[in-house]
Amino acid sequence: MSYRRTRAIFLKELRHIVRDRRSLGLALAMPAMMLLLYGFALSLDVDHVPVLIYDQDGTEASRSLARQFQGSRFFDVLGMVQEYHQVERGIDRNDIILGIIIPRDFGKDLKAGRSSTVQLLVDGSDSNTSAIAIGYAESVVQGYSMEVRSDILNLKGVKLPPPAVVAQTRVWYNSSLQSKNFVVPGLIAVILMILTGQLTTLTIAREWEMGTMEQILSTPLRPSEMVIGKMSAYFVVGLADAILAFVSGVTVFAVPFRGSLLVLTLSTLIFLFGAMLWGIFISAGSRSQVAAYQMGMLSTFLPGFLLSGFVFSIDTMPKWIQAISVLVPSRYFVTILKAVFLKGVGLSIIWPQIIYLILFTGIVYWRAVRKMNQKVA
């Protein structure tokens, strides 16, 4: 492989990128735009759950329970209603997620030392949010129950015995439990996979459509030199995208960065090589830009969002889906970014993911060169 010929195709492609200022500006702006849009819009935090309370009892005890929900940061009590069907209507109209019905004789039963029940009416159309809301509500009710029990025992002159076992929780790496610290690193990996793959997907297909490939083939340029030269030109743009995405994640979203900048740089360079070579491979197999674009979106966007572990846990997927996700490079880069950003680990921990990205890059490069040989032949 000749350095001179590779450099020539690199400069040719770089001039083409610079001349097309609109596409260049869009390529540089898209990562920041997508990160801001998805980073602020995609939140897994469940708080300020809209609630309506139907208090059938109207005693001090029932009002005290209602105040427990009003004082919780996880609930946003929209009001007190007078009829059961108002709670149902609120759920049907998506105005509320949770309805709390306090039955008659609630306060009377508590004063008599009898247990009482509280109905939690939950909108189950979003199972994840509903399950979390139920957990929050049950926690509030249990806390209120402990207060009532303690007051009753104090009136009888009996002290409430301490619990036999107390769990002391210490959260590592994301002590505030903010979903943005989990979402943004994974989002950066998915965005880079989509954009960098798309940058190179059209490059060779465009040469065939414009009729310039025959001129290129008349030169002594080898397929490996064309692959490396074209990829290197777009690699500069992809590297700028990565820097913008990382800076936005740390400055705009205040995601903590605890790892090594050297490890982050090394893993990002390997991932970008692999993602762009994948785009070259797709482009080499297509003579139409439309077909190349569609195949590029299908092979980067869907696997990046669905099979990378960015949104959906891979461990809960069916076994055959888990087997397919092994082939998705963004899965490993998502793991690397979360480990480097939040845990601050080094190569001693993430070396298996690095090795996979290196293997993926090597295999895709070999396939892209072979595909170019077939096209040339």
The predicted pLDDT at position 280 comes to 84
Q: How big, in percent rounded to 5, are the helix, strand and coil portions of the chain?
A: 70, 5, 25
Please provide the average confidence, as pLDDT, over all residues in the chain. 82
The predicted pLDDT at position 52 comes to 92
CB 115 within 8 A of CB 109: yes
- Which pLDDT band holds residue 218 (cuts at 50, 70, 90)? low
Name residue 75's beta-bridge partners. Answer: 49
- Which pLDDT band holds residue 213 (cuts at 50, 70, 90)? low
- Which pLDDT band holds residue 109 (cuts at 50, 70, 90)? confident
The predicted pLDDT at position 181 comes to 83
CB 307 within 8 A of CB 331: yes
Give the model confidence (pLDDT) of 304-359 as tens digits: 888 888 777 888 888 888 888 888 898 999 999 989 998 888 888 899 999 999 99
Return the domain boundaries, the chain: 3-43+178-376, 49-155
CB 186 within 8 A of CB 288: no
The predicted pLDDT at position 148 comes to 79
Residue with the bigger pLDDT between 38 and 215: it is 38
Q: How far is Cα 186 from Cα 339, in angstroms, rounded to an integer? A: 10
Residues 6+ apart with CB under 8 A from 14: 233, 236
Q: Cβ-count burial of 319 within 10 angstroms (0-12 exposed, 13-18 middle, 19+ buried)?
A: exposed
The predicted pLDDT at position 212 comes to 67
Backbone φ and ψ of 323, nearest 5° = -65, -40
Give the model confidence (pLDDT) of 40-58 as tens digits: 777 666 778 899 999 988 8
- Which pLDDT band holds residue 281 (cuts at 50, 70, 90)? confident
**Domain 49-155 falls under CATH 3.40.1710.10:** yes
Q: Cβ-count burial of 260 within 10 angstroms (0-12 exposed, 13-18 middle, 19+ buried)?
A: middle
Give the model confidence (pLDDT) of 251-279 as tens digits: 888 888 888 999 999 999 999 999 888 88
The predicted pLDDT at position 357 comes to 93
The predicted pLDDT at position 355 comes to 94
The predicted pLDDT at position 353 comes to 92
The predicted pLDDT at position 375 comes to 56
Q: How far is Cα 204 from Cα 266, in angstroms, rounded to an integer? A: 27
